[in-house]
Amino acid sequence: MAQQEDVFKKIVSHAKEYGFVFQSSEIYDGLAAVYDYGQNGVELKNNIKRYWWDAMTLLHENIVGIDSAIFMHPTIWKASGHVDAFNDPLIDNRDSKKRYRADVLIEEQLAKYDEKIEKEVAKAAKRFGESFDEALYRQTNPRVCDHVARRDALHERFAKAMNDNDLEELKQIILDEGIVCPISGTKNWTDVRQFNLMFKTEMGSTADGSMTVYLRPETAQGIFVNYLNVQKTGRMRLPFGIAQIGKAFRNEIVARQFIFRMREFEQMEMQFFVRPGEELKWFDQWKQWRLAWHKALGLGDEKYRFHDHDKLAHYANAATDIEFKMPFGFKEVEGVHSRTNFDLSQHEKFSGKNIKYFDPELNESYVPYVIETSIGVDRMFLSVLCSSYEEQALPNGETRVVLHLPEALAPVKCAVMPLVKKDGLPDKAREIVNDLKFDFATHYDEKDSIGKRYRRQDAIGTPFCITVDHQTLEDNTVTLRERDSMEQTRVNVADLHRLIHGRVSLNALLRKLG
């Protein structure tokens, strides 16, 4: 685990050193849990967003996009339940004066039991070798059985406390489990309190009678309140979806792990409107479609798992997380939620407007049910970055740091390099750049040794380096170096476009999804 934490630290400094992610307001000592994306980060982020947007709007003829405002009428947040129920249970340690989310402390305790179980199993597997029967060992080994029983009991108690909103019980669990503050090491805890996560601000001058508005904590409500506008103007029929990418804001108290939990972040959300009674069928379908979208990137199928919710949000009748194996464990990257007709019904009630859908096939009107897929751009970015980072020992004794980014997501697709800065090689290299730049993000680099230039491109995940040498001037061929294998092949300049396009285009990725 400590080793994984070291790797994570390296990834965070790499992200800064190579222009992916900077701490916001850094020269003023930073603003906690707020980050800026640099020159490479913004390209990677845009490519992730494009992949999502195209997968939604190009591959599904019944999904369209919108871009709604961040500010919305404050009653929307009353109707959605966010004013009353968008809370985190917080607990303070009196000695360290540090504040924690009570639910997160307990989840970490659950993860500790899991770690103990896996350690026992791994030890036994080593001891017994080939003859090891893992399933039997898990069922019969007394130590494993004891850990499993404790974990299951804790899990059940925790789920009940969360469902009942029982803050006293959450504190009692923390005390009974002997959970200590990681800073002070003590169990000197305060009571658990609820804390609303929405940021408030004022709209209009006080003289006019200003109004308290919220920075939206999710983009979804912008979709709900526009659903009928889109349905009518787009002549959409159920089932249909509305997709949106945009900023969301949450006053996260425990903001940790770099861009995993931020106060300002970006979401890619899609609400899929369906007939009542059909929602669970669509929920299963969207679970599969969304997992396929992740897996098509080739980051490793074993890095994903579903985690079904024990505590359903106030609006849901089924919910699951798609978790990704980060260096700090399996963590939620995306949620798929069956939100029933809760939000639309609430907006109908609070606005007093009829927002029912008229179903021409059934010849009746009803409030549609909704399946939501909601993914954080920044978490997706983090999962791509973490799984792509590698420190590779080379046969010549050197180490290279390489980002094996999915080629379609890489910020720069190819770098063109004259072998030397003379003999007309830079001119030829520029000529190639000037041709490729219309289709691919292309870098020109003539500084330092060719080895150093390769390393620089490896570090930002550029899939191809094109080297122009003296032979190029004779036969119009260049070397095409591949990032992952470092293999170099001699190819004709005329073939570059086709070769690169076949590998880096989003099209190839989208085709995997059918």
Residues at the site binding ligand GAP, with contacts judged by CB under 6 A: 218, 220, 250, 252, 261-262, 265, 267, 269, 332-335, 372, 374-376, 378-379
Closer to ligand GAP by Cβ: residue 216 or 404: 216
Q: CA geometry: angle at 9 spanning 290 and 181, to 5°?
A: 90
The span from the CA of 490 to the CA of 488, in Å, is 7
Q: Are 389 and 7 in contact (CB under 8 A)?
A: yes
Instruction: Retrieve residue 334's tokens.
Output: 């995306």
The span from the CA of 245 to the CA of 251, in Å, is 20
Q: How far is the CB of 118 from ligand GAP (least distance, A)?
A: 25
Q: What is the DSSP letter of 157?
A: H
Closer to ligand GAP by Cβ: residue 313 or 510: 313
Q: Are 370 and 272 in contact (CB under 8 A)?
A: yes
Q: How far is the CB of 318 from ligand GAP (least distance, A)?
A: 14
Q: How far is the CB of 398 from ligand GAP (least distance, A)?
A: 36
Closest to 463 in 3D by CA, of 487, 447, 434, 439 = 487
Locate the DSSP E strands across 349-496.
357-359, 364-366, 369-376, 389-393, 399-403, 414-418, 442-444, 464-468, 477-482, 488-492
Q: How far is the CB of 490 from ligand GAP (least distance, A)?
A: 44
Instruction: Retrieve residue 475's tokens.
Output: 């036969």
Q: What is the DSSP letter of 238?
A: S
- 414-418 and 464-468: which strand pairing? parallel
Q: How far is the CB of 93 from ligand GAP (least distance, A)?
A: 22
Q: By Cβ distance, which residue is nearest to ligand GAP?
A: 376
Closest to 441 in 3D by CA, of 57, 19, 39 = 39
Q: How far is the CB of 378 from ligand GAP (least distance, A)?
A: 5
Q: What is the per-residue burial (b if ≥16 Cβ within 10 Å, else e) of 369-378?
A: bbbbbbbbbb
Q: How far is the CB of 469 from ligand GAP (least distance, A)?
A: 46
Q: How far is the CB of 261 from ligand GAP (least distance, A)?
A: 4
Closer to ligand GAP by Cβ: residue 269 or 407: 269
Locate the DSSP E strands across 74-197.
87-92, 99-101, 193-196
The span from the CA of 281 to the CA of 143, in Å, is 41
Closer to ligand GAP by Cβ: residue 335 or 368: 335
Q: How far is the CB of 243 from ligand GAP (least distance, A)?
A: 13
CA 243, 86, 174, 260 dihedral sign is positive
Q: In the beta sheet, which residues pair with residue 467?
A: 417, 479
Closer to ligand GAP by Cβ: residue 372 or 458: 372
Q: How far is the CB of 493 from ligand GAP (least distance, A)?
A: 43
Reported as type and span, the H/E element at residue 333 is strand 329-340
Report the helix count and the strand count for the chain, using DSSP H and E: 18, 23
Closer to ligand GAP by Cβ: residue 144 or 336: 336
Closer to ligand GAP by Cβ: residue 255 or 499: 255
Q: How far is the CB of 265 from ligand GAP (least distance, A)?
A: 4
Closer to ligand GAP by Cβ: residue 346 or 467: 346
Closer to ligand GAP by Cβ: residue 379 or 481: 379
Q: What is the per-residue burial (b if ≥16 Cβ within 10 Å, else e) of 152-191?
A: eebeebbeebbeeebbebbbebbeebebbbeeeeeeebee
Closer to ligand GAP by Cβ: residue 315 or 464: 315
Closer to ligand GAP by Cβ: residue 343 or 407: 343
